[in-house]
Structure 1
Amino acid sequence: MRLGVISDTHGAVENTRAAVRMLESLEIDALVHCGDIGTPEVIALLAGWPTHYVGGNCDNDPAPLRRAIAAAGQTWHGEFGEIELAGVRVALAHGHDSRRLADAIKSGSYQLVCTGHTHQKRIEQVGQTLVLNPGALYRANPHSLALVDLPELSAMHINL
């Protein structure tokens, strides 16, 4: 299974379109958005896959985002999500709650923790947990996303 991971779109529709084209070429099966979505327009662009969202510190009014996610048949997890894909337990967090993020990483409950917030790419093995930040689609140079092959937990960044 191929999982796409994006974060920090901040409503940047054109950058999100570029990410969608890349994700289509990578033939992903599911997508995770690690917060700071920005606008419902971003959600509409990501409707081609089962997509899981968490809110970020800049998603100040999540009600329109939740409505757009529901209308697209996608999943809103609030500020923290737990999913299982291909037998892999995955935690989703934006990362602005650094204590909650650290607790998820240290807990041993997740094989993969996906986060955003810093706009900095990260792939790091912490004990039995792979910590992944895809970078950002806004205010980053270069804009980037991540791809994870599951259940192998093989991860890589892709610059746009």
Structure 2
Amino acid sequence: MLIGIMSDTHDNLPAIRKAVEFFNERNVDLVIHAGDYVAPFVARELKKLKAPLKGVFGNNDGERKGLYEALGIYDELIELEADGMKIAVTHGTNEVLVKALAHSRLYDVVVVGHTHRYEIQEVGRTVLVNPGEVCGYVTGVKSVALLDTRKREVQIINIDNGELLGAMSL
């Protein structure tokens, strides 16, 4: 299964459009959003995804009722399973929670956002993935991640130029 991972879109519709096109071109089976959509109007672009979207709230998601109605987002932590791989998703605002999830040995992958900085880090038997920011507001780099559960590999890609920013085998 090929999973697209994004975070911190922050209402940047042109960047969201690029991320959606990137995921659609690669025929991902699922898209995970680690929070900070910001406003419900982003649903207009996110609904163009060919794959289902699963996501969590971030600390800048003020209109949660609207995001729930538009995208079905309703929680700050979700658990997913794909090809026998257990995945936890949270925005990353609570560092104690992120550490606990990563060290729990319950998950193969923990997905976070919040810092706007892309990262792939091994924590024991768990891989912590932050896809960076789709919006590009903080770092200037618009990035997403691809998690291939069959190849057991994660990659982070700059959606402006297709550059591979990082990769790790799981």
Q: Same fold, TM exceeding 0.5?
A: yes
Deviation at 1:137, TM superposition (A): 1.2
- Cα displacement string for residues 50-75 of structure 1 (whole angstroms, at most 9, x for unaligned residues): 111100010123110011013xxxxx
Alpha-carbon distance between aligned partners in 1 of 2:91 and 2:110, rounded to the nearest angstrom: 10
Moved segments of 4+, more than 4 Å:
none
- 2:82, 2:43 → 1: CA distance? 21
- Pick 1 or 2: higher relative contact order, CA cutoff 8 A, min separation 6: 1
Matches for 1:58-77 after TM superposition, within 5 Å: 58-70=60-72, 76-77=73-74
**Aligned 8 A contact 2:147 2:153 in 1:** yes
Deviation at 1:77, TM superposition (A): 4.7
Paired positions, count: 155
Aligned to 1:141: 140
SS at match of 1:96: coil
For residues 95 and 28 of structure 2, the distance between their equivalents in structure 1, rounded to whole angstroms, comes to 29
Gaps of 5+ in 1: 71-75
Structure 2 gap segments, 5+ residues each: 160-170
> 1:84: Cα distance to partner?
0.7
User: Residue 110 of structure 2 contacts residue 126 of structure 2 at CA under 8 Å; is this kept in 1?
Assistant: yes
CA shift digits 1:38-94 (9 cap, x unpaired): 122323322331111100010123110011013xxxxx3511111111111100010
Per-residue CA distance 1:5-34 (angstroms, 9 max, x = gap): 000001111110011111112111100000
Q: TM-score, normalised by structure 1?
A: 0.92
Match status 1:89 vs 2:91: no
Alignment of 1:9-24 (within 5 A): 9-24=9-24
